Amino acid sequence: MTNSAVVLADTAAYAAAVEEATRAAAAYYATGESTLDDDAYDRLVRRIAAYEQEHPHEMLDASPTGRVAGGAASGDVPHTVPMLSLDNVFSADQFVTWTASLERRIGRPVAAWSVEPKLDGLAVAARYRAGRLEQLITRGDGTAGEDVSHAIGTVVGLPEQLAEPVTIELRGEILMTTEQFEQANAVRTEHGGAPFANPRNGAAGTLRAKDRAYTVEMTFFAYGALPLPDSGELTDTLAELPHSEVLAYVARLGVHTAADTDVAPRTVTTVEEVQSRVEEVAALRASLPFGIDGIVIKADLAADQREAGSGSRAPRWAIAYKLPAVEKVTRLLGVEWNVGRTGIIAPRAVLEPVEIDGSTVGYATLHNPADITRRDLRLGDRVMVYKAGDIIPRIEAPVAHLRTGDEKSIDFPAACPQCGSEIDTSEQRWRCVRGRDCRLVASISYAAGRDQLDIEGLGATRVVQLVDAGLVADFADLFTLDREQLLGLERMGETSTDNLLAAIDTARTQPLSRVFCALGVRGTGRSMSRRIARYFADMDRIRAADAEELQRVDGIGKEKAAGVVAELVELAPLIEKLVAAGVNMTEPGATPPPEPGEESVAAAAADGEGGALPLDGMTVVVTGAMTGVLEKLSRNEMNELIERAGGKSSSSVSKRTSLLVAGEKAGSKRTKAEDLGVRIAAPDEFAELVAGFLPAEA
């Protein structure tokens, strides 16, 4: 990687840097297959700019500092108005300096700012005549682009007919969402192609492809509009509208914008508000279903834009505030095979350490052997690694065009890496034939954890003692332990023994949702366990359900339902032992589903007022620090409380959110709820609303 702190030594080094940047940009804008990741390219360009500032007379025509982004790409369709790129800032201080420069240029403070996501896609112009989409053109060199009209009909959010018969040119980004990227790679590899390295690479290749035997979807986000020569009175209208109102008009035409996303464009009036919104968008980045690499900030009023004007490569009234890179290219050094608590054998990539988003990444997830095969990964590959927020880094794909021929195939294990037993390879996720018995300590420790049975005092060290002493073969055996057995263990005195037995006895009374979660059924976690328990109300009904009935539970599809049914059969002996030990198998407050033929009776009963739950049908988000009776509840316990009271818990605020419980330092979620008009409740108000469902200790 290029180090931005290293100064270009002389003219030769400068020329070499310009050549490297030109090659990288040409590949990036043509196919998405650049030899540099975004961060390395940005640092290289900053070094070039620093050299040019010191030696302006040596500046080369090919320098990326004087060219529109994408300038290396070819095209022969002239743009009505040049498609300029944006200058960048990388910090709050740089942004403040830029705003001061802009306000000096126009001679007054900027009246309003539009703050919107910088989408990681390809800039295009879509020309409509009388409301019908006629032509789609790439940015190209900014003055002319490539005609890619063959892609019309494959781009979500770019309708072939507008809601009004206007003649207009829409400008925006075409990209692949995370889901579209996964689907595209699955289809592409099925047809013998190499997987795309990242969503941008996928969108670039797909947009230009004409003769593929398959089609994949992409998504369009509009970020602007301008009149065409025969647009009539629309010409004057668009020229005077603020940018924010232009986007609203485009949305009314039926075109996709970022307005309905968690990072919707927002109009603010101060630099401080801009910075606050930048921080909010950056915090949401990891949870977005599409890629962004920054935030675009524009002067909103048309008058401010006109007076600021544009340079040869970028407008002076807009800037891109770049975020730290979450995607880097590094080398795949090896693959480790780890066995989970249910016996699942999971591969993990060992990487040449690379800094991404402020932390050093040395490992990444690989999902399963089929994923390795599908992506055609090889040891020694240069790979594109993605990380955002606290999400575990993942390998998106090998950068196949950088292969040298020295790469080696990845060896899959012939036996369980943990115990040496045979491996069940019948499903995509391989599993040791011993299942949970292979990782017994991990399985029991998980079951005893706070969000499952919550057995205080039963840590991993104590579980190892119990397993080594032959006292437990599964977590059901915990409920048959007696005082003498525990006192016989090393470092177990009378007080610790009595405390542990009391905790185990309390665990017998945990609700079914926690018992089900403790079973560790693959494909279900805390939230899904709660949904299953609340739907069926008791364990007998869960075990009696077939795959079709399980699919009635929110979030369970056909494949997951079949897996749950199969695993419950496997877990039958363990469940029987739990029942025999007196462990609770019912969910408090849950109503069993109606028997066949009873649906109408149940529906009629549901219309009555007496059985209504306080959060019935509501989607609730909790944020900030809780106070009062809610202070001692973990976030998982809060989610349990919401669902017991009839609601559905969620982690993000959207138009579908019914209620936000906002504690201290609620931050961006509260701001968004206010913008959307979502009802907001303080912790005390919420506690009063669900008082009948609070745990006894609260």
**Does domain 327-424 sit in CATH 3.40.1160.10?**
no
Domains of the chain by residue range: 11-66, 77-322, 327-424, 435-507, 512-606, 619-693
Asked if 349 contacts 393 with a C-beta cutoff of 8 angstroms, the reply is: no
Q: Which residues are catalytic?
A: 118
Answer positive or negative: Cα dihedral of 570, 574, 579, 583: negative
Q: What is the DSSP letter of 195?
A: P
Q: Measured between alpha carbons, how far is 393 from 80 in angstroms, rounded to an integer?
A: 42
Q: For position 23, what pLDDT does the model report?
A: 75
533: enclosing H helix or E strand: helix 526-536
Q: Measured between alpha carbons, how far is 242 from 129 in angstroms, rounded to an integer?
A: 23
Q: Topology of 435-507 in CATH?
A: DNA polymerase; domain 1 (1.10.150)
Which CATH code fits 77-322?
3.30.470.30
SS3 content of the chain, % helix, strand, coil (to 5): 40, 20, 40
Backbone Cα Rg of the chain: 29
Q: For position 604, what pLDDT does the model report?
A: 39
Q: Strands, E, within 130-217: which ranges?
A: 132-138, 144-145, 155-156, 168-175
**Does domain 512-606 sit in CATH 2.30.30.90?**
no
- Residue at token pair 């032959």: 470
pTM > 0.85: no
Q: For position 356, what pLDDT does the model report?
A: 83
Bridge partners, residue 321, by sequence: 89, 295
The number of beta carbons lying within 10 Å of the beta carbon of residue 617 is 10
Bridge partners, residue 347, by sequence: 337
Q: Topology of 619-693 in CATH?
A: Rossmann fold (3.40.50)
3-state secondary structure of 154: coil
Q: For position 111, what pLDDT does the model report?
A: 94
467: enclosing H helix or E strand: helix 460-468
Q: For position 176, what pLDDT does the model report?
A: 93
- The pair phi, psi for residue 285, each rounded to 5°, is -50, -45
3-state secondary structure of 363: strand
- Residue at token pair 């369970």: 556
| Domains 435-507 and 512-606 equal at CATH topology level | yes
- Residue at token pair 């013998």: 192
Bridge partners, residue 220, by sequence: 174
Q: Of 454, 458, 459, 418, nearest to 439 (Cα)? A: 418
- DSSP for 616-627? TT-EEEEESB--
Q: Topology of 11-66 in CATH?
A: Helix Hairpins (1.10.287)
Structural tokens at position 244: 């924010």
- Residue at token pair 């290219």: 329
Mean pLDDT per block of 10 residues along the chain (698 residues) reads: 59 82 69 62 80 82 67 71 90 94 95 95 94 93 90 93 95 93 86 80 86 88 93 89 96 94 93 93 87 94 95 91 87 93 91 85 89 89 80 81 89 92 90 88 91 91 91 93 91 92 95 94 86 92 92 86 90 94 90 61 40 83 90 85 85 86 85 87 92 75
- The pair phi, psi for residue 620, each rounded to 5°, is -120, 135
Structural tokens at position 174: 């075409």
The number of beta carbons lying within 10 Å of the beta carbon of residue 364 is 21
Structural tokens at position 394: 């993942």
HSE, CB side, 13 Å, CA atoms: give it for residue 378.
15
Q: Of 193, 195, 152, nearest to 170 (Cα)? A: 152
| Phi-psi label, residue 491: left if phi above 0, alpha if psi -120 to 50, beta otherwise | left
